[in-house]
Amino acid sequence: MWVSRISSLGAQAIKKLTQGSPGQAAYTPRSSYFHACACRGVQSSLRPLQMQQYLCTAAATDSGKGEDKGKKTINVTFVETDGSEKHVEVPVGTNILEAAHSNDIELEGACEGSCACSTCHVIVMDMEYYNRLPDPSDEENDMLDLAFGLTETSRLGCQVEATPDIDGIRLALPVATRNFAVDGYKPKPH
């Protein structure tokens, strides 16, 4: 529990630091974060191609800044573990887990969105978009602590709602998830 508090506080502090500079490159590697991860024995879940994209999108264009608050759908890009991208339109109000399942994207969601697992872990590829999201709840942070390959922009898909503010968001799927099944069982979306 204390680890999640530290993660939460760290993320909020970094969020504040980055929010004051809208034109600035959105992502600066946070060595302290990765240090914390290393202490916990957590490796980055991004493959090299994804990591390259992760860093490159730091200078993402300003498209999709969410000015159009009346939008009914938003554009979301899922970056799969092989680096391929899937662009989907997501109705506002839908959560990211539901959006993935509606578009045949393999995001597990073992607890069906009740914030009791970490198998819907997604990685926001652009810090600017990460900063636009509401802060994760304590419950989400607790579950994120269990996620494989946790990063500083990790979120649980079932806890992130599509809003006009995140139109254009890019989300990477981690190379693995950690669930309670030990026999290789993978829950299927409902």
Residue numbers at the binding site for ligand FES (CB under 6 A): 97, 109-111, 113, 115-117, 119-120, 143, 156, 158
Q: Considering the complex, what minimum distance in angstroms separates the CB of residue 86 from ligand FES?
A: 19
Cβ proximity to ligand FES, 57 vs 119, nearer residue: 119
Smaller CB distance to ligand FES: residue 128 or 142? 142
Q: What is the DSSP string of 57-125?
A: GGG--STT----TT-SEEEEEEE-TTS-EEEEEEETT-BHHHHHHHTT-----TTTTSSS-STTEEEES
Of 25 and 115, nearer to ligand FES (C-beta) is 115
Which are the contacts of 152, defined by CB distance < 8 A and separation ≥ 6?
10, 11, 14, 30, 33
**Shortest gap between Cβ of 161 and ligand FES (angstroms)?**
13
Question: DSSP secondary-structure letter at 173?
Answer: P
Q: Which is nearer to ligand FES, 66 or 187 (CB)?
A: 187
Q: How far is the CB of 167 from ligand FES (least distance, A)?
A: 22
Q: Which amino acid is at 124?
A: V
Least separation, in Å, of the C-beta of 107 and ligand FES? Answer: 8
